[in-house]
Chain A
Amino acid sequence: MVGNLLLGGGLTAALAAMIICLAQKIPSARTVKIIALVSAGFITTASLLLWILLFENDFSVEYVASYSSTTLPTIYKISAFWAGQQGSFLLWLMIHAIVGAVLTFRRTSAAALGIYFLMQSVLVFLVLAKSPFAEHSAQVYEGVGLNPLLQDFWMAIHPPIIFVGYALLAVPFALSLGNLLTEAASRSWLEEARKWTLAAWGFLGAGIFIGGYWAYKVLGWGGYWGWDPVENSSLVPWLLAAVLLHLINLARKKPAVLAQAHVAATFTYSLVIYGTFLTRSGILGDFSVHSFAGTSIGVTIALANALVLIGGLSIIFAKAKQLPQGELYKSYGESTFIILLGCLLLIFIATIVWIGMSMPLLTQIVGQAAAVDTDFYIKSTSPIALALAALMIYTFIKFGRSISLGGKIAHVGFLAMLVAIVISAQGETVTQELQTRQKILVTGHEIIYEGQVFKEDERQKFYVYNVDGEIVRALTKLRGNGEDAAREPAILKNFSGDIYIAPHAPQIDSVQELMLTKGLFAMDGELGYIFEDAHIDYDDNNKPIQATAAITITDGEISEVIHPTIIVTPDGGSSKAIEAFKGKRRVRLTGISGDLEKARLEILPTLDKLSEMPITATISTKPYIWLLWLSVTAICTGTMLAIRKR
């Protein structure tokens, strides 16, 4: 409630700033600064409030109950902020608002600020349309918790960096339209736009690369890129931002390129919003492995997208006559032509990715929904990427001297990245069952699987391998119930590349389920079980908190009473395996009937037994994959260096 009020305050201030900036030719700079700061202040306070709610485990807020829990380590409560759609929009809005306040201190034209605050208002609308502060209809005492996959250092930095990139791309968009509205023929906005676009490109790129590294190193997806819609939706704006960057640079020397630069600014930002629409509206629910399913704000985002694209293009069209005309280039050998050709190739690649990721939507409109397989992207983009690489090498030889140091580093990085993508894909992949302590020779490497090692709290375990004499461990995070939740690969790094071992789910066929009836005796083959009693703890409002059973286990001579429990969570409940009979058994309560007459008990293999079980793993080699990490670091470093004034 308070959160929504704060957002309302942020919206009011953003609208006020927009109206003042657009209505008055030369508004008082101080007033605009103050209003922008007020808007950013409200929005930042709302964000801080969400963090406080997360830290205080306030499960009356649905978002907190869905993405946090009392047992979630403090450090991950910070990143639980953007674990869901509502929170990640708020994060985006917060960064946008802070950048907006900074803009008012940097001699930005009033019209550009007006456009920027219009976008800020739209973003507040998007956050309010599905507010992270919405209250929970039911009273809950424990949150669902953060997906173990996301309880990770990279989760703390990957989304914020992506959203910094998204937020910064609004700046060249606003500068372009603001300039068109007031003095269309002027090129004064280009220097400022160049800096912000470089920063945006660097951040968005860094975010994409970190996401790729995360997928490779931690998530065990077997690779760094899967052409998933969520990945593609950030790749397309990144490619177009590269086009925008080059057109801005060209337009500073060649007035005739100005029109193209304006069009690129509008398209780049509208594709940021489009990507959000595609991945967050739920229409891709059946096509993406990322789990943003079924949300109702699709229409709102679609309207925002239409506003940016149609609004931007209309302004460009209306002012087209005032834009400088003239020849773009005189000969095909000229650098202008070559850069424009390079831009065209980037647009081709972006178009292919756009078509691929939009197929489910486009085909739904015409009739039968369809998607493309990932081969489409690889097959279609690789010849274009090859042509682009050739063009870049040619440009380097011919015009290399006129490129700045940062530009050189970034371009060499980009070329090296293309090379690394090809080389690292030339490895071998083998899927095979591994027996413990049995030496096998795979992909030219000696691998011994040493078994699983469990951590004491049973929330983590390691698959241990000996690869060519070196021990590598693969972390697997476990759910509360002891099942694998997030399985990281084991990676042995070498100069010649990585040896990448991704374990698959162990085939536990020895889980036995016992249906127990109160007072009756049941056997698991060796031991006997008697379900003695059960009770449910209720809160003051008569809502169940947890269910506890009393079960006697006996081998005929010794008996032991155990008390397994199920804790009620918003999506049902969770229960933990407990050791019984001096470590001879591990059992877990998985259900109790409403009348407390029946209980369901899982008999799990003991940890000793588990750690000795054979597993199946996919072993692959990734030749010279370090070149990829090095090259993308060079891209980002070079980009940031290039921001300095030339």
Chain B
Amino acid sequence: MRKIFLIVLLVGFVAYAGFNLAESVTPYVSIAEARASSNSVQVKGLLDKTFQPVQSGDKFNFSLQDEQTGETMRVIFDGMKPDQFDEAYHIVAIGKYAAADETFHAKKLLIKCPSKYEGQKPQV
């Protein structure tokens, strides 16, 4: 009796956690893979310097470039331009690609900086 109780509880928990997990897992993909996927994904890339990032209202637009292939993709971030965005050497965008407007809609951005500290790098 006791064992059955425990087993039911454990199985229920595993099923429940597994279901939630399957729903919210976001794989880490390249830009090409992000374009092909309709699920939530994470894309890492560099800032595409040929496109000037713009903040319009509470949406932030920029272009992400794949480090390996050089492929670029427009990104709309649902929020304000993050701090240290300009100093970022890597940007991780988390969200979904929409084929309709050929844009990646990011819910979250992670900014990777070479240094979060003093000043800019001058060329001496």
Chain A residues near B (Cβ < 8 Å) = 69, 144-147, 149, 285-289, 291, 293, 344, 348, 351-352, 355, 359-360, 363, 368-373, 375-376, 379-380, 431, 479-481, 484, 487, 504-505, 507, 536, 544, 547, 566, 568-569, 571-575, 589-594, 600, 616, 618
Contact = CB atoms under 8 A, between A and B. Distances in A.
Given A286-B44, A370-B25, A592-B124, A572 B119 contact: yes
A574 B16 contact: no
B21 interface: yes
6 contacts: A293-B112, A368-B28, A372-B25, A373-B26, A504-B81, A547-B122
Given A69-B118, A371-B26, A575-B119, 4 more contacts: A291-B113, A372-B26, A376-B23, A536-B124
Contacts of A372: 21, 24-26
Nearest to A505: B83
A147 B119 contact: no
B80 interface: yes
B51 interface: no
A576 B24 CA distance: 45
Contact of B40 (A146, A373, A505): A373
Contacts of A592: 122-124
Question: Nearest 3 A-B pairs (CB), nearest first?
Answer: A574-B119, A572-B121, A376-B24
A369 B122 contact: no
A286 B124 contact: no
Contacts of A379: 20, 24
A484 B122 contact: no
B27 A369 contact: yes
A593 B27 contact: no
Contacts of A487: 83
Interface string B100-124: 0000000110101111111111111
Contacts of A544: 124
A360 B119 CA distance: 32
B118 A479 contact: yes
Interface in B66-108: 79-81, 83, 90, 92, 94, 107-108
B77 to A, nearest CB: 13
Interface of B: 9, 13, 16-17, 20-21, 23-29, 40, 42, 44, 55, 58, 79-81, 83, 90, 92, 94, 107-108, 110, 112-124
B113 A481 contact: no
B119 A481 contact: yes
B17 A355 contact: yes
A344 B123 CA distance: 59
Most chain A CB neighbours (cut-off 10 Å) among B21, B24, B55, B79: B24
Contact of B122 (A368, A370, A479, A590): A590
Nearest to B110: A289
Contacts of A288: 110
A593 B124 CA distance: 6
A574 B112 CA distance: 20
B110 A286 contact: yes
B115 A505 contact: no
B122 A348 contact: no
B80 to A, nearest CB: 4
A291 B118 CA distance: 15
A471 B42 CA distance: 41
A571 B115 contact: yes
A344 B9 contact: yes
B124 A507 contact: no
Contacts of B42: 286, 370-371
Nearest to A481: B119
A373 B94 contact: yes
Contacts of A481: 118-120
Contact of B119 (A369, A479, A505, A547): A479
A373 B124 CA distance: 42
Given A352-B17, A373-B107, A359 B119 contact: no
A146 B17 CA distance: 41
Contacts of B117: 144-147, 571
A274 to B, nearest CB: 19
B124 A144 contact: no
B11 to A, nearest CB: 12
Contact of B21 (A355, A480, A569, A616): A355
Contacts of A149: 116
A226 to B, nearest CB: 10
Contacts of B116: 147, 149, 291
B75 to A, nearest CB: 16
Most chain A CB neighbours (cut-off 10 Å) among B17, B24, B79, B118: B118
Contacts of B25: 359, 363, 370-372, 376
B38 to A, nearest CB: 16
Contact of A566 (B9, B58, B110, B122): B122
B110 to A, nearest CB: 6
A68 to B, nearest CB: 11
A578 to B, nearest CB: 14
Given A291-B113, A590-B122, A593-B123, A375 B83 contact: no
Most chain A CB neighbours (cut-off 10 Å) among B28, B29, B113: B28
Contact of A431 (B26, B28, B58, B90): B58
Contact of A380 (B20, B58, B121): B20
Contact of A573 (B17, B44, B79, B119): B119
Nearest to B123: A591
Most chain B CB neighbours (cut-off 10 Å) among A288, A368, A536: A368
A481 B87 CA distance: 14
Contacts of B92: 286-287
A144 B122 contact: no
A544 B94 CA distance: 42
Given A285-B112, A348-B13, A376 B124 contact: no
Given A344-B9, A380-B17, A505-B83, A368 B121 contact: no
A507 B80 CA distance: 11
Given A286-B28, A368-B28, A373-B107, A480 B123 contact: no
Contacts of A375: 24
A402 to B, nearest CB: 24
B124 A568 contact: yes
Most chain A CB neighbours (cut-off 10 Å) among B27, B40, B92: B27
Contact of A569 (B20, B83, B110, B119): B119
A376 B28 contact: no
